[in-house]
Amino acid sequence: MTLIMGVLNVTPDSFSDGGRWASTDAAIEHGLLLHAQGADLIDVGGESTRPGAARVSPEQEQRRIIPVVTELARQGLRLSIDTFNSATARAAATAGASVINDVSGGLADPGMGAVAAETGLTYVAMHWRAHAQQMDTLADYGDVVTDVIAELRTRVDALTRAGVGRERIVLDPGLGFSKKTEHNWQLLARLDAFAELGLPVMVGASRKRFLAGVLPNGAALPDRDLPTAVVSVLAAQAGAWAVRVHDVAATRTALNVLASVQRSTPHRAQGLPHSAVRPSQWTHD
């Protein structure tokens, strides 16, 4: 069954929540709520990756997120750290995180592969071409699916050379990162193509700009939660390991509907190989 990764932005400039969880206490409270709503993982981030976002230092990032990770881990939650800084990933691992979610796939910090190997955590490598202030200028592809798969394969090769076990690697096609609207839809339409990499896949479509195109003009940002839940079902049908979402409750309901249908339907082969549903250490309780 596809896991739900709940987004917890401990930042003042997130595109989706405008800093509502920027304080430690508010972030902890929201993390507990996401867990209660059905999140299997809480993805804690201390630096916004929205287009044009300003960079923060690893030290500032850690001041924001380490107290949150420490307390949520103490309360028994499974945690992911959303960072492309190896020092932050190491600190979060020490504080109790189980997953490193690196939107740069190891490109932003050459030390990330070594940290992933040393800690032995599940490592999510996203397709990425540049930081937030440059990424929209690099949305140029021949065939976006073929190109993204090729670039992710290169990242997997680099990570395994750094000592990261393949059984610990999850891939993310990077919806919204150096992608035009049509690129995002093409990637979603052909998620089954990622099966050739033989690794689990995570899909992060939540509230992203390309979803606005299926909504009325002027729709509010939370209105993107419904199309996000639909995308989550499509991803789950393709065999995704996880979906990363802001509205956990809606996605949990949507995936419960899918599970009910699947339990009543003869087995059908899914797009991604069964062995790629999740890294070997991840199972549902």
CATH number of the domain within which 214 lies: 3.20.20.20
User: Is 133 part of any domain?
Assistant: yes
Give CA–CA dist 163/281, Å, rounded.
Answer: 17
Is residue 163 in a domain? Answer: yes
Domains: count for the chain: 1
pLDDT of residue 285: 39
Q: 282 in a domain, yes or no?
A: no
284 located within any domain: no
Confidence at residue 9, expressed as pLDDT on a 0 to 100 scale: 93
Catalytic (active-site) positions: 208, 244
Position 165 in a domain:
yes
Q: What tokens appear for 165 in the block? A: 């076990």
Q: Name the residue range of residue 10's domain.
A: 3-276
Does residue 174 fall inside a structural domain?
Answer: yes
Q: Is the dihedral of CA 12, 16, 18, 20 positive or negative?
A: negative
Classify residue 189: in a domain, yes or no.
yes
Residues of the chain with pLDDT under 70: 13-19, 50-53, 267-285
- What is the per-residue DSSP string for 128-142? --S-TTTGGGG---S
